Structure 1
Amino acid sequence: MAQPAPPASHSERRPGGEQAINADLIRLHDDLQLSDSQEPAWRDYTVAIAPNAEAQARHQAASELLPMVPTPRRIALIEATMAQDDLDFRKQAAAVGAFYGKLTPEQQKVFDRDTLPQGSDPRPG
């Protein structure tokens, strides 16, 4: 996965889903060459950015409910879902920032490079 602060539904949008996320995290971990003292921060980071089953269930329930409620309730449901997604994002963003702060400047460059969204990599090839 390796993208900073992925939305809770991130695995739904990645080809290969959670397996691709795990492979990306393994690659990121290897590329960062973390010290033993950085490993606890890594574990906290990976827990914080893991796909959120609660959010996935919330999105599924909202999707199923939308066709059955009148428009004003649809809007309220969408708004409530978005508000919770925003809270989830802020928690993930804080975890990314905390982990990033534990990295050396060189590791930060590696993190920045490895966590670019797909298709955004400026490296040739």
Structure 2
Amino acid sequence: MKLHVRKHLLTCALLAGLGVVAQAQTPPPADAASGPSAERHHRHHAKHDPAKRAERIDKRLGELRQKLQVTPNQEAAWTSFANAMQPPAQRQRMDREALARMNTPDRIDHMRALRDQRNAEMDRRAEATKSFYGQLNAEQKKTFDDETSRLMRFGRGMGRHHHHG
């Protein structure tokens, strides 16, 4: 069974690596400097501005805090939760040019390291969420469930927006 899972993970890593290399080698269209696709490109990069991302997260957390009506007894748990939801100060981003220069085993190792880093971030957030959730009363839990379900419905988290279509 473990061999089967390993084989799938290796296959996924190889396909992802090949996809990144193929995408990194695809030149942008000649008219990429103007028009709707350029506007989308600029909006996409604006979303990744760390200051704007932190601002969006703070806004969502403020709205959630208000809806939950956090009590003074829950303040410490809220603070821990809110701090855990903040993006890390330094997140290693995928350097497509560097990936294109790597051999396949190095590319797989690099992508594994990125995946492990993101998994550790997700685990940290998940534990903080569960800890905070345990401090809520039944009404607050329902509100929290409704709000986070709404955020997650389209693959959105506290700091992520993915527009489809």
Q: Shorter-chain TM-score category?
A: 0.7 to 0.9
Q: Secondary structure at the match of 2:149?
A: coil
CA distance in 1 between counterparts of 2:67 and 2:106 reads 47
Give the TM-score normalised by the residue count of structure 1.
0.73
Larger radius of gyration: 2
Tell me the CA shift for residue 119 of structure 1.
7.4
Distance 2:110 2:98 in 1: 9
Give the structure 1 partner of residue 90 of structure 2.
Answer: 54
- The aligned length equals 105
TM-score, normalised relative to structure 2? 0.57
Distance 1:45 1:119, change over 3 A: closer
Q: Which amino acid in the other structure matches residue 85 of structure 1?
A: R
Per the alignment, in what secondary structure is the counterpart of residue 59 of structure 1?
Answer: coil
- Per mean C-alpha deviation after superposition, the further-off stretch among 27-36 and 62-71 is 62-71
Confirm whether residue 27 of structure 1 aligns to residue 60 of structure 2. Answer: no
CA–CA distance in structure 1, aligned partners of residues 137 and 116 of structure 2: 34
- Unpaired stretches in structure 1, ≥5 consecutive residues: 1-10
Instruction: For 1:111 and 1:93, locate their aligned partners in 2 and report how far apart those are by CA, in whole Å.
Output: 14
Moved over 2 A (4+): 16-20, 62-65, 116-121
Distance in 2 separating the partners of 1:19 and 1:48: 15
Structure 2 CA distance, aligned partners of 1:114 and 1:84? 27
| Unaligned ranges ≥5, structure 2 | 1-46, 155-165
Question: Bigger relative contact order, structure 1 or 2, given CA contacts below 8 A and separation 6+?
Answer: 1
Q: Quick one: distance in 2 between partners of 1:46 and 1:31?
A: 14
How much has 1:42 moved relative to structure 2? 0.5
Percent of pairs with identical residues: 30
* CA 1:25–1:89: 2 relative to 1, 3 Å: same
Superposed CA RMSD in Å reads 2.2
